[in-house]
Amino acid sequence: MTARAKFAGALVLGLIFTGAARAQPNSCLECHGALEGGLQAPVELFKQDIHGQIGLGCQDCHGGDPAREDAELAMAGTFVGAPKRAGIPVFCARCHSDPAYMKAYDPTLRVDQLELYRTSRHGRLLGQGDTKVAVCTDCHGAHGIQPAKYPKARTFPWNIPETCGRCHADAEYMKPYGIPTDQLEAYRKSVHARALFDRKDMSAPACNSCHGNHGAAPPSITSIAFVCRQCHPSPGQLFSKSPHKSAFDELGFSECEACHGNHEIHAPTDAMLGTGEGAVCVECHEPGSRGYQVAAGMKEVITGFDSEIRAAGALLDEAAGKGVEVSEPVYRLHDVSTLLVSARDLTHGLDPAGVEAKAAEGRAQLVEIRAAGRAALREATWRRTGLAVATLFLILFALAFYLRIRDLRRGPRPPS
């Protein structure tokens, strides 16, 4: 018999035994179902648990023999009960770190969670005897565990901030660690949160996107930029080639975070550039300095280019509102708007010449787009004039026709 045939046979037998086990009485569920409070809760929760759905039972984690009706006999021998908090990671890893075992249920599931956890800030503190830190059950639950792809799972993308915030937003709980507890509140105001919660964009960053999950740890100053570049590669590459790179390294600034913040990251606007109110450039560059002048110059180019694009768009909107076909220049205007995005991106590299070049390329196209818009408005005027003339002609024709009919109805005039 081949290895594949043996595996298939074992799988079939496993399914048969699983079905038989489900059909047998389960003294664990029967006993706990008759209890109250926290001892009864696992019975209802386990109905939705992924472990129960794939055929595992109470005994697979807690030991014992659920086939025995007598409680003492059921808990005799192999029964281990609930693990102590400090032992939960190793307890879960009995299965989740066993590649051969896990492949029977989900071959894509990673089996290095315990190894990663031990490298995390949580894992290191637990190793030092701190049992307040997060363990598996704090993030995944205990008896109602659902896969991360299920919307009700604690680890589903839009639930992760709340899951982490259960500890990290609790000022009293976090007091011994001396770290801020406003991360969740700040994150909710960020552009990332709006994308995740409002637009349901599953690719938007949550806590684990920047800190990791099983190996969670705060990124260091030198690594923040690399974390941000996982989603924003172009600004990162431009910044690395800019004069800011060496200056930030010398000052110990954390690159992206220095201008954009960390948890409360707002959508970038042109107001952040230049020397006006709300500009981040003036936080380092004094009036009259070279950096101050470069910032002001790039801001002037970008805001002027943006204004020209808006004006061209308003022209085309006016023409479209009057019923003239302008889809072709509208499409071209989208291309020009892409050049504006590129120009804004180039500010990360402190490249005034590049910004001006992108704006100049766009302005050359705007000349033709505006001409098309004005031509469309002239066509609308001609159409309106032609319609007015045609309407007047029809009115005069109808009046003459009416007068003629009236004369015919009166008959011939008597001779004088």
Which pLDDT value is given to residue 19? 46
pLDDT computed for residue 414 by the predictor = 67
Residue 181 contacts residue 171 (beta carbons within 8 Å): yes
Q: What is the mean pLDDT of the chain?
A: 89
Least confident of 48-57, 138-147, 388-397: 388-397
Asked if residue 15 has pLDDT above 80, the reply is no
Using CA atoms, how far apart are residues 263 and 197, in angstroms rounded to an integer? 15
Query: What's the pLDDT score for residue 8?
Result: 43
> Which pLDDT score is estimated for 129?
96
User: Comparing 76-80, 197-201, 270-274, 307-311, which segment has the lowest mean pLDDT?
Assistant: 76-80
Residue 92: its pLDDT value, please? Answer: 95
Q: Which pLDDT belongs to residue 17?
A: 40
Exposed / middle / buried, residue 373 (Cβ in 10 Å: 0-12, 13-18, 19+): buried
CB 303 within 8 A of CB 309: no
| pLDDT class of 366 with cuts at 50, 70, 90 | very high
CA gap 28, 20 in Å, rounded:
16
Q: Which residues contact 282 (CB under 8 A, 6 or more apart)?
A: 275, 292, 295
Q: Are 362 and 305 in contact (CB under 8 A)?
A: yes
Of 263, 185, 258, 187, nearest in space to 225 by CA: 258
Between 106 and 411, whose confidence is greater?
A: 106
Top-ranked range on mean pLDDT: pick from 38-42, 252-256, 303-307, 394-398: 303-307
pTM, two decimals, is 0.79
Place of tokens 């046979």: 9
pLDDT of residue 416: 60
Residue 11 predicted with pLDDT over 60: no
The answer, yes or no, to whether residue 223 has pLDDT greater than 90, is no
CA angle at residue 392 from 391 to 398, to 5 degrees? 90
Better pLDDT: 6 or 222: 222
pLDDT of residue 78: 85
Q: In the chain, where are the structural domains located?
A: 1-82, 219-266, 290-380
Residue 131's closest CA among 179, 88, 164, 166?
Answer: 88
